[in-house]
Chains A and B, each alone.
Chain A
């Protein structure tokens, strides 16, 4: 047995210029950033205020940064795939098959687990406690652990770029291909360990947020008064608790097959590869609702705010959300109708799939009726929301088409399917994330994002999206299957070129997004949000200054009335501005390196297991146990902010909140 397990110099892809150079570039940039941070003396600040922070707002921002970086990383994979298919007609293209297979696998994995999930969880982290009128989530330290476990998984997936290789299985490691016999390299191991680690983080997030939403709400915040985003966050996190253990168990079985020669999914000795499909999609289908439900919540907030009206059909929206939450567990088989379970089984799952479109449709109507008769302001978040409604309806319809087993047999595994799920995930989750980021950005940083660049990013994204994916629908109907490294059918080629052109537009869009942030930071004085309520919005978070103090509310607001909207914010403002308020000391959770250290050991264990460096894995486990004991012995988990300090912060907030209240009252007069 070698000291470094399976790790040798051969793991570094010296013979493949693309991963080697891009990997070297990324490593250099990372080293550059670290050196810059150290030289400028920012390290103590970063450590104190961010890395060890357990403040839900900071953790939310860090999740979003991780998500955006990974979104770019996954986008680069997408650019490579689209350009490869544009030129690989009767030609080998520039990506060899074994590399191309890694790229489409990494694209899906990175986008879903490390792009979309952190962005959604980041938005929930930032907004949910504020909307509930409380000071933090139920378990702030675990929240930090979740973040760093997710980052640990992301790090492992990206390490596979330069050390070893990634899975060549697609974004889900389907057996028997993923069995050791067929893919003995470390790719699948990278996949499994990265997702096992980040999956634990996600599960902790789920527990944290369900507990927060069900047990920690401010005075008077009954279920019927919770903002829609909180309801969708609740549904999403319930799904996490019910679905992620399935992922953990399933990947554990893949690992047991690979490492110890078990026979869960093997072709021989009684194993059953199709069981993997059932298990992974029993997680995988709820997963898409985990991603899209919070986005629905964002749209609800945004549409209501920029239509100047309360959300239409609040109760039906809640019912629809919870209905989706439950039905999403009864449709998984539609991902493999072609397994051959028989007409009856396929029929049941096809009908269940069509049924789930009903509550989703109800939501679309609710948003439309919210806009109806409103004074609509077409700001960037609103544009994303309207574009979502158009895009998602079309994606939903192709989904209902795919829910018909006979139709699915024709187009399954084709680019039609690829177009469909990008249609709903990009059009739903990613549009929602951008709407949410633009919407809550001023709350997080105290200044708005530049509208002109935001709108430029929006229009190019909208156009680029359709230019990229409409051709894929057509190519799919023309019989083009997914994951082709090259092809010889002339009819497909023009569509691949159009699609690649669409990606060019999306590149411009990504550039606009980056430039939007640069411009906004530069011109932050012009974009400053003085009142804490730049949009004239409804919910409680807008009754705090931007950015809110670490403890959010000097006094917890008291919510009353049937209408959970305008009145809620106004009353919170009035309470905050009342004379003779007696402030109580506030206990805030104390910063803790537990999360970061846990992430460090998780990365160590993951890396050691991937390369089978057993002594290092044992060392990592020992370290993890030491962290556990340290955390268990740590008594002082909260620090108290004294009355005077709370009062001083509350005083400093007054001018902003006063202005905000006047604006709110004026708006009510005219409404």
Chain B
């Protein structure tokens, strides 16, 4: 759908200018816009999915079944550290966007690698937190509250992990293919995804961790 090239050739000679003026709508959008738009819609749908897990979590907060409560479980220091890692990772992803804009392979690879390492740090902290809880008997099988907690936070963690796989693939592709348009479109999608996970995390941080310990 390469739109811009067409108009000159589309009309019988001489009519092009007049017809162009009469056109209220300029025809199919450029590929770059279409790809980004589609991915935005995907992100929205993903946010709808998370909203279901959030709603479920809030409904099941009371379902602790005499087991551990949020206040007893959560360690805000760990959460703060996780938050810092994830936001810094996103910041690095932003730096990578700038490097990609400038077609700088070295800085693209460096910033993306740091993005990935910070993301991995986040996952490790989360895994450690989960393991810690499980060791104390706070498993998802213990109560409805814990089922909802592990599913909501775990689903975010799963997204981050899949993002890391995608990130590695993207880095390899930048190396192999350089900065052609299709690659930049894909990287745009990746950075949308990575930033959207921050937004979800802000929700988790606020509703799950702060809400759980301060209520």
| A interface residue numbers (CB < 8 A to B) | 134-136, 138-139, 203, 206-208, 210-211, 214-222, 241-242, 244-246, 248-250, 252-253, 256-257, 260-264, 266, 268-272, 275, 279, 555-556, 558, 560, 578-584, 587, 625, 628-629, 632-633, 635
Contacts and interface: CB of A to CB of B under 8 A. Distances in A.
Contact of B143 (A215, A270, A558, A633): A270
Interface residues of B, number: 55
B45 A207 contact: yes
B19 A211 contact: no
Interface string B37-72: 110011011101100110110011011110000000
A221 B52 contact: no
Contacts of B19: 558
A270 B9 contact: no
Nearest to B186: A632
A412 to B, nearest CB: 24
Contacts of A134: 1, 28
A216 B64 CA distance: 50
Contacts of A221: 25
16 contacts: A211-B37, A249-B49, A249-B53, A256-B147, A262-B141, A263-B143, A263-B144, A264-B56, A270-B63, A556-B6, A556-B10, A556-B28, A558-B10, A560-B24, A583-B9, A633-B176
B52 A249 contact: yes
B34 A219 contact: no
B58 to A, nearest CB: 11
Given A245-B52, A262-B151, A584 B44 contact: no
A267 to B, nearest CB: 11
A266 B148 CA distance: 13
Contacts of B55: 279
A221 to B, nearest CB: 6
A309 to B, nearest CB: 25
B183 to A, nearest CB: 10
B10 A271 contact: no
A582 B55 CA distance: 58
B33 interface: yes
Contact of B34 (A138, A220, A253, A256): A138
Given A266-B144, A270-B145, A584 B49 contact: no
A574 to B, nearest CB: 11
Contacts, number: 163
Summarize B's interface: helix, strand, loop or mixed: helix
B126 to A, nearest CB: 18
- 9 A-B pairs closest in CB distance: A270-B63, A270-B144, A245-B49, A262-B147, A249-B52, A263-B144, A245-B48, A211-B38, A219-B27
Given A250-B52, A270-B65, A582-B9, A219 B144 contact: no
A284 B191 CA distance: 33
A264 B60 contact: yes
B141 A241 contact: no
Contacts of B56: 249, 253, 264, 275, 279
Contact of A218 (B12, B28, B38): B28
Given A216-B28, A264-B147, A629-B169, A271 B9 contact: no
A555 B63 CA distance: 62
B34 A211 contact: yes
Nearest to B24: A222
Given A245-B52, A275-B59, A629-B169, 7 more contacts: A207-B45, A210-B41, A219-B26, A262-B150, A264-B56, A271-B144, A584-B5
A218 B27 contact: yes
A256 B5 CA distance: 52
B66 to A, nearest CB: 9
A632 B173 contact: yes
A215 B147 CA distance: 41
Contacts of A583: 9
B49 A246 contact: yes
A246 B24 CA distance: 38
Contacts of A579: 12
Contacts of A244: 45
B141 A260 contact: yes
